Amino acid sequence: MSCNPDGVPAQLQEALLRHRERTRRESRVFPDLATAVQARQRTGDLGRESAECLVKRAVMQVDGGYSWRHDHRLILPSRLYMTEEQVLAFLRSIIAPTLLVRSSNGLINRFKPNQRISSIPGISVVELTGGHHLHMNNPFPVVMEIERFHNSLFPNEEVEGKKSEKQTL
């Protein structure tokens, strides 16, 4: 996300206030894992299995149940926003081969990212059907696109644990 230069002071003030408020507040405690799974499902396009996977990895046992173990600063507004021109300058400076696997209904679509995407030199873009958690709800197509991209960069390199066509002939 970016910010109009005139909006930077207000944005920083809001971020600092929210950070102070967040550090004073107690983390939410879920009485059991099932309740945490249901809460996680309500926040996004997650199936039960994917939500269970996230919850098992992201909660810790506390007095009275379970609480998220993530750094709460991750859900707070950023303290520093760049202008759109600064964002584009950083994107134009990317020199690594880049693959963007985007979902048809993902969060990125809310921000009309086409100018940013086209700013990255030589970017490969693939759009797959799904939402924000595409990689969890339907991982196989994502893996196939990443493998295809990797193979285009390193055509003679074998993926560990996978036999090459020459070995199977």
Share of the chain above pLDDT 70, in %: 88
Q: Which whole number is the average pLDDT over 22-48?
A: 83
How far from the centroid of its chain's Cα atoms is residue 153's Cα? 24
Which pair of tokens denotes residue 87? 């964002």
Q: Which whole number is the average pLDDT over 131-155?
A: 92
Global model pTM greater than 0.75:
no
Three-state DSSP at 8 gives helix
Pick the CATH number of 84-162 from 3.30.465.10, 3.40.50.1820, 3.30.43.10, 1.25.40.10: 3.40.50.1820
Q: Which whole number is the average pLDDT over 115-120?
A: 94
Domain ranges of the chain: 5-75, 84-162
Q: Residue 41 above 90 pLDDT?
A: no
Q: Which whole number is the average pLDDT over 27-55?
A: 87
Asked if residue 67 lies in contact with residue 96, where contact means CB atoms within 8 angstroms, the answer is no
* Band (131; pLDDT cuts 50, 70, 90): confident
Compute the C-alpha angle 47/52/54, nearest 5°.
Answer: 100
Q: Residue 116 above 90 pLDDT?
A: yes
Which of 10-19, 84-93, 159-168 shows the lowest per-residue confidence on average (mean pLDDT)? 159-168
Q: What is the predicted pLDDT for the residue at 92?
A: 97
Q: What is the predicted pLDDT for the residue at 163?
A: 55
Q: What is the predicted pLDDT for the residue at 162?
A: 62
Burial 24-37 (b: 16+ CB within 10 A, else e): eeeeeebeeeeebb
- Rounded to the nearest 5°, which phi and psi values hold at 35? -65, -40
25-28: list long-range contacts, CB under 8 Å, 24+ apart: 27/62, 27/67, 27/68, 27/72, 28/67, 28/68
Element spanning 66, H or E: strand 65-68
Q: Which whole number is the average pLDDT over 8-12?
A: 83
Average pLDDT score over the chain = 85
Report the alpha-carbon distance of residue 66 to residue 70 in Å, rounded.
12
Q: What is the predicted pLDDT for the residue at 77?
A: 79
Greatest mean pLDDT among 26-35, 62-71, 140-149 lies in 140-149
Kindly state the DSSP code that residue 107 receives in the 8-state scheme.
G
Q: Which whole number is the average pLDDT over 160-169?
A: 53
